[in-house]
Chain A
Amino acid sequence: MSALTTPKPRFDLLSLPVVGRLLRGRYGRLVLQLPFLVVAVLLIYDGFTGDALASQNLATVGVWVHYRGFLAIALLLLGNVFCMGCPFTLPRTLAKRLSGSGRRFPKLLRNKWLAITNLFLLFFLYEWLDLWASPALTAWVIIAYFVASFVLDAWFSESAFCKYVCPLGAFNFAYSTLSPSQIQAKNTSVCASCVGKECVNGSYSPQPLILIDAIATQNTPERTHTHDQNGVLGCGTNLFVPQMKSNMDCTLCLDCVRACPHDNVALVLRAPAKELGDIEAMPKRWDYAFLFICLAFMGVVNAFGMVPPVYELMKSLALGLQLGALGLSQPLIEGIVLLVMFGVGALLLPVGWTLLSGKLAMMLTRSKTSLREIVTSLSPAFVPLGFGIWVAHYSYHFLTGFLTIVPVSQLFLIQHGVTALGTPNWTLSGVTNLTVIGGVQFVALILGFLMSFVVLERNARHLFKRQSVMGMLPFVLMLLFLMLVATWIFSLPMEMRGTVYFD
């Protein structure tokens, strides 16, 4: 447990007249979740019953074009509002009510390894099953999220799904470290004397419970507050507000704000990426480090799946592994080849190279700092570039197709007898000038790389002092490699190919 921080007073977004009051209200999160729930149900419905063509179905257009685009924008400009509005956690209250308190998630799994595995599986299945081309499979993915969230919240006491399992949550947690907002205690001395620690424990109690905050000189309570059935749950991911130095694991549910009896929790504006350059802000854990690093490599591999050389590589791999000679079906060969490609590119390469870089840094600096200390301290440098790579990829789909939701919605309404919006205007698409899109991608990569370099330099200086240049060198090479490969990939023409024919 780290010490309580003493934050500087910053602008509290929850003090805004209308939005602030709305968010702080008991049903503040619900206001955001309900529209998201309606959208999710619509996507599932159209995914199963609408047109099988991805470009004419709300499920595929909504998820693979718009969700990903808006997610990147929201993380960059606001914060983790997609976790805040996540509809998958809506059945959680019902699950909790049905199941009671439940037990804690298995200790062995209380880390990010499961989330990293799920991210890997999601990106692998995205490529192998061509999720982007299948409304029905996309709808199944949404249902799987609902079911997994409901079951896990029914079985376990904390928000196990959000914190340890959800791949979208892991992505959002990692990249919300770049966001310009953060939950913070207004005054940590209030927290120090807080009796109930409601921000993490909650203020709900089946029977009314009076807590004494302060006792006057005559041994009578001077200040009290009550827990009862109107109380709210505490932080689902077990974060204690005065110790929070990072957005990691914060779903922005604002339960801490509602639970705090002292009105001492704020959602403050801050410098983006603040915690990345503070090596004390993150736990020194391998799983956090490899979440940041593997996500950046996954971004490259995912984008690589859409450019011409991938098909040659896949064919070469199939040939090299002699999969054709085994009499396997084409989809199975494709699955094996993709698994090898993703396994090497998104897991083995980043893990192996990171450990090697850490060892090299130790040798070059003759430092006695442990390998874990080095890797965990320098891994946040992969967040800005990783996000830049994802933005470069998602911006292509979002910018070229952001208006396609209009004709697809028109088609959906017409199919259900609503003609108020007229006939679908299929000429609506988005930015058609590929030079503009290329410019946006390049800017995202450059800014990401520069910010990564600044974070790396800062953390290396803190860790290695005068030896910082030598210590950061192996990791600079990793960042340069990612940057150059990503630039090469995005300079190639995109190909929307779902089927690869193996010899």
Chain B
Amino acid sequence: MTKVSITLICVLVFAIVGCRQNTPANNANLTIELVSDPPIPAMGQSTFIIQLKDSEGQPITDATVNLRGDMTHAGMQPEFGTLLGIDEGQYRYDFTWSMVGDWVITVAGTTADGTPFEQRFERQVNR
């Protein structure tokens, strides 16, 4: 009986441990679009254009936009960059895909009035 209880307790503990991970969610009042050139990422040089719009679809200018590229495997050094404003609500960064595989691009920053934003994009880089 004791053994059965132990087993049941373990199964219960096993089942109730919840997953609550921190995945950055975008600010609801912002739209962040990521366009890369070439559109299907390949190893080497690539250009990112980030388009920032407010809830009414108006471009957001004068924001500080940073970018971070991580491979999905732990232990790989990330790539960083600060994007330059090139047009109304558009920000550009020349990025180097250093390895083929799955990447997560984190776009984060603050608008001119100090509102923070962050969003992640997944990209698969080919040869």
Contact = CB atoms under 8 A, between A and B. Distances in A.
B86 to A, nearest CB: 26
Interface of B: 2-3, 6-7, 10-11, 13-14, 17-23, 68, 70-78, 80, 99-102, 104, 106, 120, 124, 127
Q: Which of B2, B14, B20, B80 has the most CB of A within 10 A?
A: B14
B71 A496 contact: yes
B22 A99 contact: no
Nearest to B43: A493
Contacts of A397: 73, 75
7 closest A-B pairs by CB:
A401-B75, A496-B101, A429-B77, A65-B75, A60-B74, A133-B72, A496-B73
Given A308-B127, A499-B124, A426 B78 contact: yes
Interface in A119-138: 130, 132-133, 135-136
A495 interface: yes
Chain A CB within 10 A, most for which of B2, B18, B19 = B19
A404 B75 contact: yes
A497 interface: yes
Nearest to B73: A496
Contacts of B2: 98-100
Of the listed residues B74, B100, B104, B106, the one surrounded by the most CB atoms of chain A closer than 10 A to its CB is: B74
B74 A401 contact: yes
Contacts of B10: 147, 150-151
Contacts of A98: 2, 6
14 contacts: A48-B17, A48-B19, A50-B22, A51-B21, A53-B106, A64-B74, A65-B74, A130-B72, A147-B11, A308-B127, A400-B76, A401-B74, A415-B22, A499-B124
A55 B6 contact: no
B70 A53 contact: yes
Contacts of A493: 99-100
B102 A496 contact: yes
A496 B21 contact: no
A18 to B, nearest CB: 34
A406 to B, nearest CB: 12
A232 interface: no
B20 A49 contact: yes
A144 B14 CA distance: 8
A400 B98 CA distance: 13
B23 A400 contact: no
Given A52-B23, A426-B80, A496-B101, A143 B14 contact: yes
A54 interface: yes
Most B C-beta atoms less than 10 A away, residue of A151, A397, A432: A151
Contacts of A154: 3, 6-7
A496 B17 contact: no
A151 B11 CA distance: 9
Contacts of B14: 143-144, 147
Contact of B101 (A56, A57, A495): A495
A119 to B, nearest CB: 21
B3 A99 contact: yes
A432 B22 contact: no
Interface string A244-256: 0000000000000
B121 to A, nearest CB: 12
Contacts of A56: 70
B21 A427 contact: no
Given A143-B14, A147-B14, A499 B77 contact: no
Interface string A386-422: 0000000000011011101000000000010000000
A61 interface: yes
Nearest to A66: B75
Given A95-B6, A497-B102, A54 B72 contact: yes
B100 to A, nearest CB: 4
Given A401-B74, A496-B71, A48 B101 contact: no
Given A55-B74, A98-B2, A151-B10, A498 B102 contact: yes
Contacts of A151: 6-7, 10
B78 A55 contact: yes
Nearest to B99: A496
Contacts of A427: 77
Given A135-B21, A398-B75, A400-B75, 20 more contacts: A48-B17, A49-B21, A51-B23, A52-B21, A52-B23, A54-B73, A54-B74, A55-B70, A61-B74, A98-B6, A133-B102, A147-B11, A147-B13, A151-B10, A397-B75, A400-B77, A426-B68, A429-B76, A493-B99, A494-B99
Contacts of A155: 3, 7
Contacts of B70: 53-56
A51 B120 CA distance: 12
B4 to A, nearest CB: 10
